[in-house]
Amino acid sequence: MAAEQMATGGGDPGRVPPARPLDSIDHAILRILRTDGRASIRAVAERVHVSRANAYARINRLVEDGVIRGFSARVNHERAGQAASAYITLKIVQNSWRTVRDQLQALPGAAHIALVSGDFDVLLLVHTPDNQALRELVLTRIQAIPEVLSTRTLLVFEETDLGPRPDRPAELA
């Protein structure tokens, strides 16, 4: 039992075990995968100068440790039919973060949710087909959440993706 608790971070399933330090090879692997999440194990291994088995084991460890949270595609939202984007700031009832977060996650087009400090409590990024859908999302869905005290919508006119690029080799993962 004690060995199981040690392996799972102590018996508390919500507790996250401490992060293991990453070495230069781990950082190199993360840079490669952030630039090209579809890179094969063989290609990653060749680029970081380790065996395929070593690269496979390192990537699995990064996933198991929660360093890599998943693999996804970077989407051009406008070309995907989501022409309207906005950051929406929310002021919420104190101590209602988890409840509000769960409701915001269920919204169509919700892309990023952050609990922040400052003049507002939550920052939400949404992508919708058009301004009418955005208006409905804010006025009908978000403002109907009882714990939401107020919102402010900031339309996105243009976006530049600052994801990792091969021409920035010094960037850490």
Q: What is the pTM of this model?
A: 0.70
**pLDDT per residue over 6-54, tens digit each?**
344 444 555 666 778 999 999 999 999 988 889 999 999 999 999 999 9
**Residues 84 and 155: beta-carbon distance below 8 Å:** yes
In whole angstroms, what is the distance from residue 127 CA to residue 133 CA? Answer: 9
pLDDT, tens only, 93-133: 999 999 999 999 999 999 999 999 999 999 999 999 999 99
Kindly report the number of other CB atoms within 10 A of residue 137's CB atom.
22
Residue 17 has what pLDDT?
Answer: 67
| Counts for the chain of helices (H) and strands (E), in that order | 6, 4
